[in-house]
């Protein structure tokens, strides 16, 4: 991969919930210094595990010249190297990958294309260009794989489907796996636990693609519009593009996606408009989901 050095994943800015309120971009936490533990598996764990609660220093978010929160993603696109490794996951000439500062699931990443001719286009328009769409899909695939590995790192030890794989990892020399001398059981397909797509009505000005785990379990999931922006056709999968001219998702307001009843993504229970009841239910579903 021609990316610049991959940086640590933690917490970003730029929450997106369509017509929902925009969360103010305030500050970004930097991580603790990396541990001295060596080994490929430990190094990867360190790459993925730094979290805001480990912060010792605060990195103030630099607004764009306009000072508008809707433009907040612009700084990551133009100056990704100026952010600490707890903010920017990696960047290359064409893309920047970051953690959402206000994640709407336990894992929520954003991919930002750096092409200035695309930055302020609506995704429905930008993805009409087949060449650009193919380029975005290829990069989303890379970030998707990274996110799947992170879910495995976080939940592998408690997942029933991962048990044989975890037992094998505890039994064999990890270096032999790297050289191909040992083959690990496949374990759980974490890639299926991640959604990749955009909102039909983005709340941030710069084009961005969400790579988000399916659980919708997060303190930043605060109200109905937040939830429905990821639990209804308001969220459009990257593989659904380009959209047909008559696709109803081109008219999210008319379709009323954000005003729909709150329906659990996992069991299908309808909570009507009772968000706090759904929120408690999502916490319980999260614990069951990660243990599958």
Residue 71 has, within 13 A of its CA and on its CB side, a CA count of 9
CA angle, 31 then 207 then 205, to 5°:
90
Cβ 36 vs Cβ 46: under 8 Å: no
Catalytic site residue 274? no
User: Would strands 194-199 and 95-99 be described as parallel, antiparallel, or unpaired?
Assistant: unpaired
Residue 204: both structure tokens together:
């941030």
As a dihedral over the C-alpha atoms of residue 192, residue 194, residue 200, residue 202, rounded to 10 degrees, the angle is: -170
Q: Which of 108, 208, 210, 217 is flagged as catalytic? A: 208
Q: What are phi and psi of 97, to 5 degrees?
A: -110, 130
What is the chain's length? 292
Q: What are phi and psi of 270, to 5 degrees?
A: -95, 120
| Of 167, 156, 194, 196, nearest in space to 292 by CA | 156
**3-state secondary structure (DSSP) of residue 188:** coil
Catalytic residues: 208
């Amino acid at each position: 991969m021609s990316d610049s050095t991959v940086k640590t994943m933690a917490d970003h800015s730029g929450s997106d919930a369509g017509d929902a309120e925009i969360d103010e971009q305030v500050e970004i936490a930097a991580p603790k210094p990396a541990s001295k533990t060596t080994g490929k598996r430990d190094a990867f764990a360190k790459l993925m595990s730094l979290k805001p609660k480990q912060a010792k220093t605060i990195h103030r978010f630099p607004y764009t010249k306009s000072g508008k929160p809707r433009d907040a993603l612009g700084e990551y696109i133009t100056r990704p190297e100026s952010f600490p490794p707890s903010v920017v996951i990696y960047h290359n000439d064409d893309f920047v990958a970051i953690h959402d500062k206000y994640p709407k699931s336990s894992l929520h990443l954003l991919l930002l294309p750096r092409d200035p001719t695309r930055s302020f286009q609506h995704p429905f328009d930008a993805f009409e260009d087949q060449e650009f769409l193919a380029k975005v899909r290829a990069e989303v695939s890379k970030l998707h794989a990274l996110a799947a590995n992170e879910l495995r790192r976080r939940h592998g030890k408690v997942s029933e489907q991962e048990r044989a794989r975890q037992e094998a990892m505890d039994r064999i020399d990890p270096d032999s796996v790297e050289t191909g001398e040992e083959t690990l059981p496949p374990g759980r397909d974490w890639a299926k636990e991640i959604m990749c797509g955009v909102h039909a009505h983005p709340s941030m000005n710069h084009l961005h693609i969400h790579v988000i785990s399916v659980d919708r379990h997060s303190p930043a999931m605060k109200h109905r519009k937040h939830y429905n922006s990821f639990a209804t056709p308001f969220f459009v999968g990257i593989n659904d593009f380009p959209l047909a001219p008559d696709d109803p998702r081109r008219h999210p307001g008319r379709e009323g996606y954000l005003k729909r009843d709150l329906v659990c993504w996992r069991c299908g229970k309808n909570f009507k408009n009772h968000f706090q009841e759904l929120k408690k239910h999502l916490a319980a579903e999260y614990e069951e989901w990660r243990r599958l």
